[in-house]
Amino acid sequence: MKHFDVRTPAVTHTDAPGQFYLSIENLWKAFGGFLALKDISLDINEGEFICFLGPSGCGKTTLLRAIAGLDLQTRGTVMQAGKDISNLPPSERDFGIVFQSYALFPNLTIEKNIAFGLENTGRSKPEITARVAELLELVGLPEQGKKYPAQLSGGQQQRIALARAIATKPGLLLLDEPLSALDAKVRVHLRHEIKELQRKLGVTTVMVTHDQEEALSMADRIVIMNHGVIEQVGAPTEIYREPANLFVADFIGEMNQIPSIVTEGGRLSVGEKSFACHEHGFKDGEPVIAAVRPEDVIPHEFGYVSSNNNDNCIEVLLHQMEFLGSFWRCRLQNERFGDTELFADFSINAVRRLDLGEGKNMVIELPTDRLMAFARPEAKA
Ligand code: ATP
């Protein structure tokens, strides 16, 4: 894609410094007796790339549609650039939107598709032609203007949909699963292109996705949703490394979960063995879930004793190994874990160096700062 300055850097959509560009306050949405959104509050900064991520049916699209005015909220407010837009129809809101299904007009050329939103904006014909050409360059398809949508690939059509959405330089770009209809390779490629374009334009962007890799790689902040509520809002690394609860821990990435009890000093006991862990707010005697990511488990040879008396080491049987290209996914057993097998991802080098193999015994270390404690689901109110 070429580099164009399509938004004057001086343009700012917020009225006062420090004010959020988009603020959702106590938003509820009911479909009959069913509550799809329950008291959602969220502030988005100007120029941020936000992803709504969560399982199917959690309310991501409903929230996006409420921001766009396509489905009005039952209660609550939406403020954009300091203006209450809660009850405005979509046509009076300042956004561009891209849907999963491209939604291009099949009977119009690519140029006409892009020009569509520009036509009633008071621009002259030459201005529109120049803007369309600029947008086609911007999305890397300068030669395709005379074609019809059916003559383009899915990825190309989605780029055109993107060009159309940003044609009027909206303050807000809404993307509703824009990549999910594309095949894996195109998806990854377009992911980078959209992110690059968003950075270049500085347009505040909200994207709905159920693909966690997409959210982790594209978003400045991810909003994790579940059953109509927000579970956590944070930068991708924060969501991954410091999940707020077991739902987020389990939803993003892989997570081992071992039922345990909090003992003296906040340690986590599993059978008669106790482990030092990351700080938590649980009291002595509370049943919790001890959680550690597979890639955080450190492998050692059988008989390993830590020189600094690190007692987060435990002997295990390497029950199964699966080669996954860049690492080995290993299933580990220890009677203290009961029927729960621990997953660990060991590098090819580590497996070679420690001569690991199925049926062998070894020692693993659960690093203190990577061993987390969460409320057990049944203990949640
Ligand atoms: P997905 O990833 O599957 O698209 P989502 O998180 O975007 O899911 P929504 O489409 O926002 O979920 O739907 C949230 C809930 O609201 C779902 O249980 C859905 O069935 C319900 N819902 C959405 N639209 C309507 C509607 N028009 N009438 C009734 N229920 C609806």
Residue range 218-258, pLDDT digits in tens: 999 999 999 999 999 999 999 999 999 999 999 999 999 99
pLDDT of the residue at 330: 97
354-371 pLDDT, tens digit each: 999 999 999 999 999 999
What pTM was estimated for this model as a whole?
A: 0.88
3-state secondary structure of 234: strand
Pocket test of ligand 1: the residue of 27, 31, 209, 224 to mutate, having most ligand atoms within 8 Å of its CB, is: 31
Please, are residues 361 and 307 in contact by the beta-carbon 8 Å criterion? Answer: no
| Low pLDDT (below 70) residues in the chain | 1-18, 309, 378-381
Which residues belong to CATH 3.40.50.300 in the chain?
Answer: 22-248
pLDDT of the residue at 18: 54
Q: Which two tokens stand for residue 65?
A: 């549609």
124-137 pLDDT, tens digit each: 889 999 999 999 99
Which residues belong to CATH 2.40.50.100 in the chain?
Answer: 257-379
pLDDT of the residue at 109: 94
**Ligand 1 atom having least distance to the Cα of 32:** 29
How close is the Cα of 198 to the center of ligand 1, in Å? 27
Amino acid at 171: G
How close is the Cα of 61 to the center of ligand 1, in Å? 7
**Ligand 1 atom having least distance to the Cα of 65:** 11
Q: What is d(CA 268, CA 278) in angstroms, rounded to the nearest whole number?
A: 10
Helix residue ranges, H only, 167-272? 184-201, 212-218, 236-241, 246-251
State which CATH number among 3.40.630.10, 3.40.50.150, 3.40.50.300, 3.30.413.10 fits the domain covering 22-248. 3.40.50.300
Phi/psi for 54 (5° steps) reads 175, 170
Q: What are the pocket residues of ligand 1 if the criterion is a CB atom closer than 6 Å to any ligand atom?
A: 31, 34, 36, 54, 56-62, 210
pLDDT of the residue at 378: 67
Q: Which two tokens stand for residue 280?
A: 């938590």
pLDDT of the residue at 14: 47
Q: What is d(CA 282, CA 292) in angstroms, rounded to the nearest whole number?
A: 17
Range 342-379 burial, b when 16+ CB lie within 10 A, else e: bbbbbeeebbeebebeeeeebbbbbbeebbbbbbeeee
pLDDT of the residue at 10: 35
Pocket test of ligand 1: the residue of 62, 70, 100, 207 to mutate, having most ligand atoms within 8 Å of its CB, is: 62
Please, are residues 173 and 198 in contact by the beta-carbon 8 Å criterion? Answer: yes
pLDDT of the residue at 122: 81
Q: What is d(CA 363, CA 301) in angstroms, rounded to the nearest whole number?
A: 6
**Class of the domain covering 257-379:** mainly beta
How close is the Cα of 31 to the center of ligand 1, in Å? 9
**Ligand 1 atom having least distance to the Cα of 225:** 6
Alpha-carbon separation of residue 125 from 6, 131, 190, 327 (angstroms): 18, 10, 30, 57
CB neighbourhood size of 173 (10 A): 23
Pocket test of ligand 1: the residue of 58, 212, 231, 251 to mutate, having most ligand atoms within 8 Å of its CB, is: 58
